[in-house]
Structures are given as C-alpha cells and as structure tokens.
C-alpha cells in the first residue's frame, strides 16, 4: 500500500471513531491502534490475574463462611475478568502464550497496586472498597470505548465489579462498628491503601504520555487527574461515614470548586513500584511464573488426553 493510501485509510478510520462507530477485529486499523490496544488490554488482563494473588492469601483465613464465600466469588470473578480480556486481546492477532510471556518476562506491566502486601483482614475490606472503587471509576467509561471486543468485555466486567466494592465496604463497616482494635485495624488499612489507590489512577495529566491519543480513540474519556478527583470526592464522605480518617492533612472541602483539595502524591514511590521495586513485585511474579511452569504438565496431559480421545473416535468411525 502506498503512503497516500494508508493516510486515506487512516482518515476514514478516525472519522468512523469520531462518529462513535465501533471497530471490530477484522476491520482495517492503523498499526498503532492495534499495538496500543494490545498494550492496554493485556495490561488490564494481567492486573486482574495478578490481582487475585493478594486476596487468594486470605481465602482460608476469612473470619466467617459468609466472608469466605464472598471472597472466593470475588477472586473467581477476577479470573473470569482476566479471561474475558485476554480473549478480547487475542482478537488482535496476539496469542495467549505471547501475552503470558510478556507478563512473565516483565515486558508487560500490571497495576502497581498489587505490589503492596495484604497484612491484615482489614486489607480485604480496604482493597474492595478503595482499589475496586478506583478500578470502577477507571473502567466504567471503557464500556463505550471504540474497540468492540474491549467494550463488550468491559460491560460484563463492570456489571460484576460492583459487588466487589460493596463487599469491601461492608467489611470496613463491620470492623468500624466493632471493638476498638477492629476499628484501629480498619484505620490502619485505610492509612496504607489510600495513597496507592490515588496513584492507581495513573500519573498526573502533565506526565501522562498516552492521554491525547487515547482520548481520540475513546480508550480514555476522562484524564487521570479528573478521575482521581472524582474518586476522592466520592470516597471521602464514605470514610466519614465509617468514622475513620483519610491520611492526608491537606485534605479539605473546597466550597468554591465543589471538590476536595488534597495533598501532594509521592510520585517517586509510584515510579519505584512501577519499575519493580515495590514491596511485593518479586513475590507476585514468582507466584505467577511458578503457577504457570508447575501447571505445564497438566496442560500437556489435557492436550494428550484430548488427542487420544479424538483418535479413538476416528478409529471407531472407520
């Protein structure tokens, strides 16, 4: 194809997106659109999969059967969400194996929040309330994104995610209405998860390299700073309701703007964790790579079994 023809196709393509038309896997698309979507969707899928690890840790130690069933269902949902997103990503012509390889080699990223440890039961509450809360804010606009398979997967994810946040808040509420020690545990969890949750919404607009292009392709509908403000505005009253304190001395309602003002985020910490130096980066990746490697014989055996059965059927038929 000549340069001029490609440019023409690109113009038609951009116009389709501007008209809110969806792009489907077999449609022509600019290579950069394809790559950007593989990057974002796989990062999203990896986050779901790695996100199971800090919670899986607590399934056997949940304080009641009710909590255990809920946590188990939540972790199962996350596996499901990872699978929807991997499948959607594969429609762009990358294999599941390549996607795993990118995760395991460190080439692909996942949400840095999962590199923090979950040290008490209250962390299950804080993760559901704050981390899933921030994730929902990020994800809801993606239900309208331009790439069909991603949008469809996100509709399903968003439908299921709401229970995750509510069960987390319920855990926090129960602790906050409990003994002094339980309430202190909830406060401690908020102290540790508040700032990482704010960072989870991504670097400031000034630092965000992908924003402009992503806005055009509807991979993003609001900037990171807008999403962060939205998260703070809706979460602070919830903390008040719980009767615990957001660990930010600069946090203050601003009558004029109608938003909360908040303190400086420690972006050095964010970049350290992104670059692999968070408290649990190594542990998470080891758990993930071990699960994959130790499961290899099972995958091979299942394949061999399927082939044997298929051959048996052919033999019978002839």
- In the set 15, 69, 291, 306, which binds other proteins (CB under 8 A)? 306
Minimum distance between the CB of residue 318 and other proteins, rounded to whole angstroms? Answer: 20
Chain mean position to CA 37: 15
66, 282, 305, 312: which one binds other proteins (CB under 8 A): 305
Query: 27-46 mask for other proteins (x: CB under 8 A)?
Result: xx------------------
Q: How far is the CB of 276 from other proteins (least distance, A)?
A: 28
- 136 within 8 A of 165, measured Cβ to Cβ: yes
Q: How far apart are CA 163 and CA 77, in angstroms?
A: 10
Return the residue of 39, 68, 152, 210 that touches other proteins, per CB under 8 A: 152
* Interacting residues with other proteins between 154 and 213 (CB under 8 A): 160
List the x/- string, 259-298, binding to other proteins by CB under 8 A: ----------------------------------------
Count of residues engaged in binding other proteins, rule: CB under 8 A = 27
The structure tokens listed for 272 are 């350290």
Q: In Å, how far are 67, 183, 185, 236 from 244, measured between CA atoms?
A: 22, 8, 10, 10
Tell which residue, 136, 154, 199, 204, has the closest CA to residue 37. Answer: 154
For 98-161, give the DSSP string: HHHHHHHHTSS---GGGGS---STHHHHHIIIIIHHHHHHHHGGGGG-SBHHHHHHHHHHHHHH
31-59 and 65-90 helices cross at what angle (nearest 10)? 160
Single out the segment in contact with other proteins by CB under 8 A; choices: 20-28, 30-38, 50-58, 186-194: 20-28
- 71-130: which residues touch other proteins (CB under 8 A)? 73, 76-77, 80, 83-84, 87-88, 90, 95-97
Site string for other proteins, 214-253 (x = CB under 8 A): ----------------------------------------
How many C-alpha atoms does 82 have within 13 Å on its Cβ side?
20
How near is the Cβ of 60 to other proteins at its closest, in Å?
Answer: 21
Q: Give the C-alpha distances (Å, rounded to integers) separating 159 from 49, 51, 152, 155, 167.
A: 18, 18, 11, 6, 14
Contact residues toward other proteins (CB under 8 A) are 24, 26-28, 73, 76-77, 80, 83-84, 87-88, 90, 95-97, 152-153, 160, 299-300, 302-303, 305-306, 309-310
């Amino acid at each position: 194809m000549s340069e001029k023809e490609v440019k023409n196709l690109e113009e038609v393509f951009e116009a389709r997106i501007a008209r809110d038309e969806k792009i489907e896997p077999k449609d022509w698309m600019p290579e950069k659109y394809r790559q950007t979507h593989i990057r974002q969707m796989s990062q999203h899928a990896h986050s779901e999969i790695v996100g199971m690890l800090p919670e899986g840790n607590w399934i056997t130690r949940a304080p009641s059967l009710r909590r255990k069933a809920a946590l188990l269902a939540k972790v199962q949902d996350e596996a499901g969400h990872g699978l929807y997103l991997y499948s959607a990503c594969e429609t762009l012509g990358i294999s599941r194996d390549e996607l795993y390889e990118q995760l395991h080699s460190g080439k692909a990223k996942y949400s840095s929040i999962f590199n923090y440890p979950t040290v008490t039961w209250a962390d299950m509450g804080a993760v559901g309330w704050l981390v899933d809360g921030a994730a929902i804010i990020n994800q809801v606009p993606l239900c309208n994104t331009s790439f069909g398979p991603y949008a469809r997967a996100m509709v399903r994810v968003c439908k299921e995610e709401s229970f995750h946040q509510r069960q987390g808040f319920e855990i926090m509420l129960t602790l906050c209405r409990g003994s002094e020690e339980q309430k202190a545990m909830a406060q401690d969890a908020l102290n540790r998860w508040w700032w990482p949750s704010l960072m989870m919404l991504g670097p400031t607009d000034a630092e965000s390299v992908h924003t402009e292009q992503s806005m055009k392709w509807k991979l993003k509908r609001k900037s990171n700073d807008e999403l962060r403000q939205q998260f703070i505005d809706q979460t602070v009253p919830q903390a008040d309701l719980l009767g615990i304190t957001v660990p930010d001395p600069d946090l203050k309602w601003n009558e004029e703007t109608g938003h909360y003002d908040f303190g400086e985020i420690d972006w050095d910490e964010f970049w350290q964790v992104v670059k692999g130096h968070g408290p649990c980066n190594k542990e998470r990746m080891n758990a993930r790579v071990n699960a994959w490697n130790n499961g290899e014989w099972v995958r091979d055996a299942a394949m061999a079994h399927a082939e044997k059965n298929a051959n048996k059927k052919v033999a019978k038929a002839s």
